[in-house]
Chain A
Amino acid sequence: MTGVLVAALQVVVVAGGSPLLVGAMRQVRARLEGRAGPGVAQPWRDLRKLLRKEPLTPRGTTEVFRLAPVLLMATTLVVAAVVPFLTNATPLGPVADLFAVVALLSLGAVALALAGIDTGTAFGGMGASREVTIIALVEPTLLVAIFALSVRVGSTNLGDIVTSTLHDPALVISPVSLLAALAFAVAIIAETGRLPVDNPATHLELTMVHEAMVLEYAGPDLALVEWASAMRLAVFLGLLANLFAPWGIASLAGPLPVAVAVAALAGKVAVLGLALAVGEVFMAKLRLFRVPELLAGSFLLALLAVAASYFLA
């Protein structure tokens, strides 16, 4: 019973906190650019307004276009419920398999890419083709990087990986962890559409990746897409934090360890998000044809991590 409550709490924390994470990242960027910034709560104001707007679907679109935001949101919610964010013993633990979680997250991304094609506009198709190119290069890295951690545990369950790191803190600074963490971080930057792979603040259709796919969404559909995108960012950063530095996670039941876990998760994700936002100020977007080089590099790191996990075991 308490497990169900904790899983529900995870969903609430991720859904409620992710717009604030995006707002904080935009605020940090604005301050470094000499602006005043709209405040941390601005994404929540945007979502509230979008949810109240008129739903509008462009002429000629099919069910693929209408279902994609729901599917994106649903897969993200499932992942937020099962992944070991607050406790390493959720009732849905067996679902928190590395392959299942990565597959669920890519299912949402692929649904959005199909919706981009479904609109039949030039930019929708172009964004979808770029997104699929990036997904095809990122997913292997995500899988292999987490797999490197699972080798020494002997299980692909994320909860087991977190538990083993908790019991043996020395694992955190092992070469396997460091290589895998680096590969995972680059893959997250590409998957969530941050600089230098994609610029989330661009208005130039020709340079867009994620934005180009969602150009035709309006009102509540757009709110779902933006909210789910923010949640995916929070989920990926939370995964990075908890797989490679799981301290603070609740291994015992009870309100106090869970409260500590919520604070630890929020702190870790906030630190990672703000570091990402600060890093973005110093970076320009990579040329699209250079992106595969970056992602191939991160895949190589992940592969080295797997090799190291066998040789150093």
Chain B
Amino acid sequence: MLGLIGRIRRLGRVAEPAPPPPERSPAAVGLGGSVQVRHVDAGSCNGCEIEIGQAFGPVYDAERYGARLVASPRHADALLVTGPVTRNMAEPLRRTYEAVPEPRRVVAVGDCARNCGVFAGAYGVAGAVADVVPVDVQVPGCPPAPEAIVAVVRGLTGR
């Protein structure tokens, strides 16, 4: 325990200084500085998952802008959808979207979620996220940098 106290004191604060707030997204209306995020992996290669994990980790710390990852779509305000939507995940994604109470937002994270990326035309792919549920915001990149994900989340919380 003493070792842990020492490490906490040596480490101090690892969160990087906050960049200037991005332009407030029109999708932020009605959320008032608090966005609960449910992450849906609709068929991703897990590259975007690692970057989302970083965005909510101590260094980028998306939680300081009022966003929080939650365990249930019923608690959520926004869905972070990654990957091209596979045939097996199309219906679960639609149902997850239905389970989110209004006002709800969908963020398509990564090139695969936007236009199927390298998986376009593959036999198991049902389409991009926008073909299954309405998308409000997109994050380009393969995978997108944590800064880009944090910037979009900040657009939603407006902080």
Contact = CB atoms under 8 A, between A and B. Distances in A.
A35 interface: yes
Given A35-B64, A42-B34, A49-B32, A55 B101 contact: yes
11 contacts: A35-B13, A35-B63, A36-B13, A36-B15, A38-B68, A39-B64, A46-B34, A46-B36, A218-B101, A281-B8, A282-B4
Interface string B67-87: 011111011010000000000
Interface stretch (A162-170, A201-209, A300-308): A201-209
B32 A54 contact: no
Interface of B: 1, 4, 8, 11-15, 18, 30-34, 36, 58, 61, 63-66, 68-72, 74-75, 77, 99-103
Contacts of B18: 36
Given A38-B66, A53-B101, A33 B58 contact: yes
Given A30-B64, A38-B65, 12 more contacts: A34-B14, A36-B15, A36-B64, A48-B34, A49-B30, A54-B102, A202-B71, A205-B71, A215-B74, A218-B74, A222-B75, A282-B4
Contacts of A222: 74-75
Interface of A: 30-39, 42, 45-46, 48-49, 52-56, 58, 202-205, 208, 211, 215-219, 222, 281-282
B42 to A, nearest CB: 18
A208 B71 CA distance: 10
Nearest to A33: B58
Nearest to B17: A36
Contacts of A217: 74-75
Contacts of B11: 34
A222 B65 CA distance: 21
B55 to A, nearest CB: 13
Contacts of B14: 34-35
B123 to A, nearest CB: 32
Given A32-B8, A36-B18, A38-B64, A215 B72 contact: yes
B8 A36 contact: no
Closest 9 A-B residue pairs measured CB to CB? A34-B14, A218-B74, A36-B64, A45-B34, A54-B102, A215-B72, A54-B101, A36-B15, A56-B101
A35 B61 contact: yes
A49 B105 CA distance: 14
Nearest to A226: B75
A87 B14 CA distance: 45
Contacts of B70: 203
A34 B16 CA distance: 10
A79 B23 CA distance: 46
B102 A53 contact: yes
A35 B30 contact: no
Contacts of B65: 38
B101 to A, nearest CB: 4
Contacts of B1: 282
Contacts of A281: 4, 8
Contacts of A42: 34, 66
B34 A49 contact: yes
**Interface hub of B13, B31, B75, B99 (most chain A Cβ within 10 A):** B75
A281 B5 CA distance: 10
Nearest to B69: A203
A202 B70 CA distance: 8
A37 B15 CA distance: 9
Nearest to B15: A36
Contacts of A58: 74, 99
B80 to A, nearest CB: 13
Contacts of B13: 31, 34-36
